[in-house]
Amino acid sequence: MEKILEVKGILKIYPNGVIANKDVSVDIEKNTIHAIVGENGAGKTTLMKVIFGITQPQEGEVFYKGEKINLKSPHDAIEIGIGMVHQHLMLAPDLTTAENMVLGIEPLRGKIFLNIDKAFEVTKKVSQDYGFDIPIDKKIKDLPIGIRQRVEILKALFRNAELLILDEPTTFLTPQEIDVLFNTLKDLKNHGKTIIFISHKLKEVKQIADRITVMSDAKIVTTKEASELTEHDIAYLMVGRDISFERISPPEKMGKPLLSVQNISYINDENVKLLNNVSFDIRESEILGLAGVEGNGQSELIKIITGLLKASEGNIYIKGESIKGLSPRVIREMGIAHIPEDRMGYGVADKTSLEENFIVDRYYKSPFSKIFRLIWKYITNHSRKLIEQFKILTLSSKTTVSSLSGGNIQKVVVARELSSEHEILIAAQPTRGIDVGSEEHVHNLLKNTRDAGKAIFLISADLDEILKLSTRIIVIYNGEIVAEFTDVPKISGKYLGPYMLGVKKQEAAVG
């Protein structure tokens, strides 16, 4: 079989030291649908960025139609016939389909004017060529997501793409739209196109792909014909690698529930239900792990618990008291601490000092301030203690946060939250993007916090982290809790995988 793309020995290390691709080699055969699957952080996206010219690897080569290519930008990729459909679509919302289609390569009338008729014509032609049924004179914002995506695909085809990369294309689609998309992709294959399909969703991958590559931990695990793999095989390959870490010992005993989430649902501005009847309790000395692929409602759940977002339905109780309608400050005072997933967005004010970042939740309390006066002497001492205790690498407590490394910035956040008076800790992606040493450190801190009798809600896209720390695990998929595991030491990624990926669901999954 003819190979359209060969990737050989890619090594990509990001400036922060994270190895995203290591010795990655894969062949894409012409005229196939090739799925690439893997957990968050397995390296799929980086590989696609390399292929599409968004980023350049340190080592390795890419061959397109047998010729070695050296892409400097996506524009280069488009030139030679590689197209990409991003998860967040690259369309101008107030322009029509036809306008988006010709953007950058506009047909002219009389040398200066935009020939809109011609734009319509070519759009119509290319959509007919590929059997796409799309309204060409409607604005993008008035079209449903599924159609918008077809516009995006057509945009790539219009630019003569022969190899199409689709990054998580089904994330925002309804089941019906997914069916349409898959038929489209099969059609395209019949037209001689090659498709790389990146996904978490194994059912879909099995349904559509001819060949499947599984990635894990920045490396390729295997590439096989789809027919040779079952869904369970894939899930196992993705997450079922040997456990390379020691689980922390379970708590001696657990106390009464501190946080109780009851029947929480959330519907966003676009009328999409992102959380559906979510319920669970977390008890003293318990770490409840929330496993799940990112974007399944975790962010909204965290914001609702911490008062940054209002639930559409349901209620949350802290030590038996409802938090309905309370401000983030009051909720914090009731005993919640929060390590946010978006470190730079919510976790720190990076243009100011460590000291000021340490006190955002406590500056108004004694002894940080008296009546209205900030007691800087105390704050500085307090900050120095935190810097020492949490081993934060910084010149001084007055250093600006932005000059710290990612790992140390995270430690600033962790130090603040763990040093707050709390009984419940919401820890979202607590070790994302930080080095191994810091990660270990944060894990120990979480364990100590648990042993001090606190309740921890651990949300992480890193399955190893969940398995290592959790006393109990629940799995979220599509805004619903689909499984609960109490006997954590006995389970491994391969048990969780199918639930996280929507392949399986426990019948009575409740907290």
Partner 1 sequence: MSPLLRSILSPEFGFAVLRVMTPLLFAALGVAISEMAGSINIALEGIMLVSAFTGVVVSAYTGSLVIALLAGLIAGIILAAMLGYFHLKLKADIILAAIALNMFASGITIFLTFIFAHDKGTTSSLRSLVFPDIHIPVIKSIPILGEILSGHNILTYGALLAVALYYIIIFKTPLGLRIRAVGQNPDAAESVGIDVNRIKLYALLLSGFFGAFGGLYLAMGYVSWFARDMTAGRGFIAIAITTLGGYLPIGTFLASLLFGTVNALAIYIASLQIPSEFVSLIPYLVTVIVLAVYSVQARRKKARKPTKAKEAV
Partner 2 sequence: MDKFILKYFNLIRTIIAVAIGITISVFIIYVMSETPGLTLRTFLLGPFLSKSRVANIIESASPVIFCGLAIAVAFQAEQFNIGAEGALFIGATVGTAFAVSTHLPIFIHIPLTLLVAGIVGACWSFIPGILKAKWEASELISSLMLNYVAYFLGLYLINYHFRDKGAGYLVSYKLPETAWLNQFIGGTRIHWGIILSLTFAFLVYYFLYHTTLGYEIRTTGFNLRFAKFGGINVFKIIILSQVISGFIAGLGGMTEVMGIHRRFNWQLSPGYGWDGIVVAIIGRNHPLLIIVASLFLSYLSIGGQVLNLLTDIPSEIIVVIQSIIILLITAEAFLSQWKYRITVREAAKKEVAYEPTS
> Of 61, 121, 281, 435, which lies in the binding site for partner 2, with binding defined by CB under 8 A?
435
Residue 113 binds partner 1 (CB under 8 A): yes
Residue 300 binds partner 2 (CB under 8 A): no
91 binds, among partner 2, partner 1, none (CB under 5 to 8 A by kind): partner 1
Which residue is associated with the tokens 């079209």? 143
Residue 438 binds partner 2 (CB under 8 A): yes
> Of 2, 249, 271, 345, which lies in the binding site for partner 1, with binding defined by CB under 8 A?
271
Q: Which of 100, 195, 81 is nearest to 143 (CA)?
A: 100
Residue 74 binds partner 1 (CB under 8 A): yes
Q: Is 373 helix (H, G, I), strand (E, B) or coil?
A: strand
Contacts of 417 (CB under 8 A, 6+ apart): 337, 338, 339, 425
Strands 373-374 and 369-370: antiparallel
> Of 56, 90, 363, 396, which lies in the binding site for partner 1, with binding defined by CB under 8 A?
90
- The residues in 300-329 that bind partner 1, with binding defined as CB under 8 A, are 312
Q: Which of 486, 510, 471, 455 is nearest to 319 (CA)?
A: 455
Confirm if 14 and 175 have CB atoms less than 8 A apart.
no
Question: How near is the Cβ of 293 to partner 2 at its closest, in Å?
Answer: 25
Confirm if 465 and 246 have CB atoms less than 8 A apart.
no
In the shown chain, the binding pattern of residues 332 to 371 toward partner 2, with x for contact by CB under 8 A and - for none, equals: x-----x-x----xxxxxxxx---x--xxx-xx----x--
In the shown chain, the binding pattern of residues 6 to 45 toward partner 2, with x for contact by CB under 8 A and - for none, equals: -----------x----------------------------
Question: How near is the Cβ of 262 to partner 2 at its closest, in Å?
Answer: 24
Residue 122 binds partner 1 (CB under 8 A): no
The C-alpha angle 229, 232, 233, rounded to 5 degrees, equals 40
Question: How near is the Cβ of 352 to partner 2 at its closest, in Å?
Answer: 5
> Of 66, 93, 131, 367, which lies in the binding site for partner 1, with binding defined by CB under 8 A?
93
114 binds, among partner 2, partner 1, none (CB under 5 to 8 A by kind): partner 1
3-state secondary structure 441-464: HHHHHHHHHHHCCCEEEEECCCHH
- Look at the chain and count its residues: 511
> Of 273, 319, 447, 494, which lies in the binding site for partner 1, with binding defined by CB under 8 A?
273
Q: Is 209 helix (H, G, I), strand (E, B) or coil?
A: coil
The DSSP 8-state label assigned to residue 439 in this structure reads H
> Of 14, 105, 255, 327, which lies in the binding site for partner 1, with binding defined by CB under 8 A?
105
The DSSP 8-state label assigned to residue 400 in this structure reads B
Residue 412 binds partner 2 (CB under 8 A): no
Using CA atoms, how far residue 302 sits from 186, 305, 415, 460, in Å, is 39, 5, 19, 12
H or E stretch at 253: none
The DSSP 8-state label assigned to residue 361 in this structure reads T
How far the first Cα of the chain sits from its last, in Å, is 51
Residue 100 binds partner 1 (CB under 8 A): yes
63 binds, among partner 1, partner 2, none (CB under 5 to 8 A by kind): none
DSSP per-residue letters across 117-169:
HHHHHHHHHHHHHTT----SSSBGGGS-HHHHHHHHHHHHHHTT-SEEEEEST
Q: Which of 48, 46, 53 is nearest to 12 (CA)?
A: 46
Residue 395 binds partner 2 (CB under 8 A): no
Q: What are phi and psi of 308, to 5 degrees?
A: -85, -10
- The residues in 301-330 that bind partner 2, with binding defined as CB under 8 A, are 306, 308, 327-330
Q: Which of 168, 144, 140, 142 is nearest to 155 (CA)?
A: 140
> Of 376, 391, 398, 451, which lies in the binding site for partner 2, with binding defined by CB under 8 A?
376
- The residues in 140-159 that bind partner 1, with binding defined as CB under 8 A, are 155, 159
Looking at beta carbons only, is 307 or 497 nearer to partner 2?
A: 307
> Of 20, 78, 401, 474, which lies in the binding site for partner 1, with binding defined by CB under 8 A?
78
Residue 80 binds partner 1 (CB under 8 A): no
**Residue 338: strand pairing partners:** 426
Question: How near is the Cβ of 302 to partner 1 at its closest, in Å?
Answer: 19
Summarize as ranges the residues that interact with partner 2 (CB under 8 A).
17, 306, 308, 327-330, 332, 338, 340, 345-352, 356, 359-361, 363-364, 369, 372-374, 376, 407, 435-438
Would you tell me which residues interact with partner 1 (CB under 8 A)? 74-75, 78, 86, 89-95, 99-100, 102-106, 108, 112-114, 116, 155, 159, 265, 267-271, 273, 312
